[in-house]
Amino acid sequence: MMNEEILLAAMPGGWEMVVIALVILLMFGAKKLPELARGLGQGIREFKGAVDGVKDELKDAEEKIEKKDETDNNSNN
């Protein structure tokens, strides 16, 4: 229970998010924000693609191991 309270205490609330958004707007300006958002979105898409690629490789490796085990068991019988 205490860990949940600490986690929630660390999360910014509504007003904190507004202040953070205003600071970002002041730092980068309104013209740069769409460009930054596009770059962030592209980075997230690339990261998700890489994660999916690793998952596929792990799945393929697992299937190869299972097939090898099946063939080993069949040859031993």
Query: pTM of the entire structure?
Result: 0.54
pLDDT at residue 69 in the model: 80
pLDDT at residue 9 in the model: 65
pLDDT, one tens digit per residue, over 2-25 is 566 665 666 777 888 889 888 888
Residues near 20 by Cβ (< 8 Å), separated by ≥ 6?
Answer: 12
pLDDT at residue 72 in the model: 77
pLDDT at residue 55 in the model: 96
pLDDT, one tens digit per residue, over 32-56 is 888 888 999 999 999 999 999 999 9
